[in-house]
Amino acid sequence: MLFLRPHMATNVQVEKNQNESSANVIRRFTKRMQGSGVIPRVRKIRYYTRTKSENVRRGAKLKKLTKATVYQTQLKLGKIQEKTGGHRR
């Protein structure tokens, strides 16, 4: 069974009254935006990253292990020198 989340459009509308300043209209608009929950929802999904599949994670782990074993064997054979801690800024 497939469930889709409907993307609800939230419209926030503010009309200027007769003797109202522009700054006051902007203030009322920002208050309505905060009350509608649009800003927290957008911030929540801003840096969304998908979770990697199990096969991708397994492949990455295998690749890391093979690199480590190749490094250890080359280190034992004397083909490379041991890495020392470098400066990080």
User: What does the alpha-carbon distance between residue 76 and residue 82 come to, in Å, rounded to a whole number?
Assistant: 10
Residues in the chain: 89
53 residue type, one letter: S
Indicate whether 4 pLDDT > 50.
no
pLDDT given for residue 45 in this prediction? 85
pLDDT, one tens digit per residue, over 20-78 is: 999 999 999 999 988 888 888 888 888 888 899 999 999 999 999 999 999 999 999 99
Q: In the 8-state DSSP scheme, what is residue 51?
A: P
Indicate whether 7 pLDDT > 80.
no
Indicate whether 11 pLDDT > 50.
yes
